[in-house]
Structure 1
Amino acid sequence: MESRRLGRTGRDVGVVGLGTWQIGGGWTAVGDDDAVALVHAALERGVTLLDTADVYGDGRSEQLVARALADVPTGERPFVATKAGRRADPFEAAQYTPDNLRGWVQRSLGNLRVERLDLVQLHCPPPTVYGDDGVYDALDALVEEGLLAAYGVSVETCEEALTAIARPGIATVQIILNAFRRKPIEQVLPAAAAAGVGVLARVPLASGLLTGKFDESTTFGEDDHRHFNRDGAVFDVGETFSGVPYELGLRAAAEVGAVAAGRGASTATFALRWVLDQPGVTCVIPGASSAAQVRSNVAAAQLEPLTADELAAVERVYDEHLRDVVHHRW
């Protein structure tokens, strides 16, 4: 698999990683053994970056990642990125204190069974946190102590990303980027590239819409965020189907699928390749609930880059169906 430098971490990672929100919870349930098996399947296919968070299943995702990596020799371990901050209670900027940041980091160290975290990302905190000098001072202190190798941010909006990228200690920025969420291409990707900040593209398949496998009759379990968060009742609606109304997303995904079919690729593989072809992207981090999905995701790294005509066709889908709905929001 092609590798790219992950910003200021100084580490090279494969261009297709593995997001592990699914194995924590909030999606279709994945059993412990199946979760470990799909992590192993990812490693066997060249995945070298795993993305998790302390709130995915209240630590379950981190713990399952640790279990899956228990027998992996130190020199062969993948880069593990986790996140902190969504455990703040109440969820407000005042909770991002040095003591709380240290506590969240120490909990992740225990869950992941390591002495130093490869990367901790502030997990979509309240917007004012991105400009808080004290937060960055606390993170710098944790790096100096050796508890963190690097830190970055996960963001909801392009404005938040640009605020963070301007900080000298930020190694990476994680942002939603897919064929249904193009706004980061305009400023965020160029700014990150100029600053030497790595870009992790999350929700690359728009919560599954861009797999082309859903239709009007598809149902989701009551504990699946694609069921309970369509109106943003629990967290930012932009995280669910990229903020695109479901029925509209189905129509747009069908058109992207028709373009993909022209080169004999699945909609999902084609959509992931689209993300990888955006200048400035380091790694795309699709989730998976099975080893088969892992294989489909990794296939994007072997797909030839999209042609100018294919890129233009995807842009037309966005402009005709989605731009007015999502472009002004995030």
Structure 2
Amino acid sequence: MPATRRTVIAGAALLPALMPAALRAAEGPGPLIRRPIPSSGETLPAIGIGTSRRYEVEPIPEMIAPLREAVERFVALGGSVIDTAPSYGTAEDVLGHILQGPLRERVFLASKVSESGREAGAAQIARSFERLRTDRIDLVAVHNLIDPGNNLATLRDLKAKGRIRYVGVTVWRDGQFDGLEPLMRAEPLDFIQVNYAIDNRAAAERVLPLAAERGMAVMVNVPFGRDRLFKAVQGRELPPFAAAFDCASWPQFFLKYVLANPAVTCPIPGMAKAAYVEDNLGAARGRLPDAAERAKMEAFIDAL
């Protein structure tokens, strides 16, 4: 059976010992770490929800119910950032159902545009507003650098009209960095979204320092390496040194590593269950690893 978060937790036989600590970490001590959006100074809780795959379900009550529970628990614990895209199947529709009512005002909602051509891009964004059942989206980013000239022009028009608050661009693999970096230098972007994980550190070499230099917030996708990391640690206990930075589970280990880079604003792991929300948010509480501890974390993972 392929290793996933579920099989790692079960296979390690550590659930009784680790999960209570992980759940306590989700609720305390102290508030969630927050990071600023450089272009405005607004701060965001430092862990968000990504909706690719896990929220691509049929938008009917029985399928939406566990996802609603996860989002409600996320917000109750202090989370706010939720990232989606029109290319994520039914995810925008599902979120539209979940975020009706007062919950919407407590969420920083991000989506994307992935069509080429000014008219096609504008039409896709208009459909996102409809599917999400909202008249304001906090962030819309150009997905995978698709037609940035036309799409950024449309997004800036919408920002000027108050329909969106922030503009950005996204990538999800290292091979896109050569296209991302010139765009970051040429455009005054509020956000970038980039792939970065403890076993995939290329973004830290040039992209993250450039974001800090240019004053751009950074969302991090695939911080678990699309389950690569869970497969690598299956059946293993956390190294003893993890306790020094308030780490109670493998998901927290991976997320704390990402968050310890000061250029990172908010990793957005997929979270489709309330228990995963509680565990992941624990990564944004307590102490983060320092440079020496990050080096130990890297060496530990690299040796697996």
Which TM-score tier does this pair reach, normalised by the shorter chain? 0.7 to 0.9
User: Which ranges of structure 1 fall in alignment gaps of 5 or more residues?
Assistant: 89-95, 215-249, 322-330
149, 170, 174: which one pairs with 1:154?
Answer: 170
What is the identity, as a one-letter code, of the residue corresponding to 1:56?
A: Y
Structure 2 distance, partners of 1:255, 1:121, is: 38
Q: CA separation of 1:257/1:188 partners in 2, compared to 1, >3 Å: closer, same or farther?
A: farther
| Deviation beyond 4 Å, 4+ runs, structure 1 | 254-257, 317-321
For these two proteins, the number of residue pairs brought into alignment is 263
208, 225, 232: which one pairs with 1:206?
Answer: 225
| 1:217-232 correspondence to structure 2 within 5 Å | none
Structure 2 distance, partners of 1:154, 1:286, is: 15
Cα offset, 1:281, TM superposition: 0.4
Are residues 1:175 and 2:194 paired?
yes
Q: Which moved more, 1:280-289 or 1:60-69?
A: 60-69
**Maintained 8 Å contact 1:49/1:81:** yes
Are residues 1:99 and 2:119 paired?
yes
User: SS where residue 186 of structure 2 aligns?
Assistant: coil
User: Which residue number in structure 2 is paired with residue 139 of structure 1?
Assistant: 155
* Superposition RMSD in Å: 2.5
User: Which residue number in structure 1 is paired with residue 203 of structure 2?
Assistant: 184
Structure 1 distance, partners of 2:52, 2:199, is: 20
Cα offset, 1:203, TM superposition: 0.7
User: Which residue number in structure 2 is paired with residue 284 of structure 1?
Assistant: 267
Question: Can you list the C-alpha shifts for 1:110-135, whole angstroms capped at 9, x where unaligned?
Answer: 01111222111111145xx35xx444
TM-score normalized by the length of structure 2? 0.78
Are residues 1:165 and 2:184 paired?
yes
Are residues 1:64 and 2:64 paired?
no
Q: CA separation of 1:121/1:9 partners in 2, compared to 1, >3 Å: closer, same or farther?
A: farther
User: Which residue number in structure 1 is paired with residue 18 of structure 2?
Assistant: none
Are residues 1:24 and 2:55 paired?
yes
TM-score normalized by the length of structure 1? 0.72
Cα offset, 1:257, TM superposition: 5.4
Structure 1 distance, partners of 2:262, 2:186, is: 21
User: Among the aligned pairs, what percent are the same residue?
Assistant: 27
Cα offset, 1:261, TM superposition: 7.0
User: Which residue number in structure 1 is paired with residue 297 of structure 2?
Assistant: 314
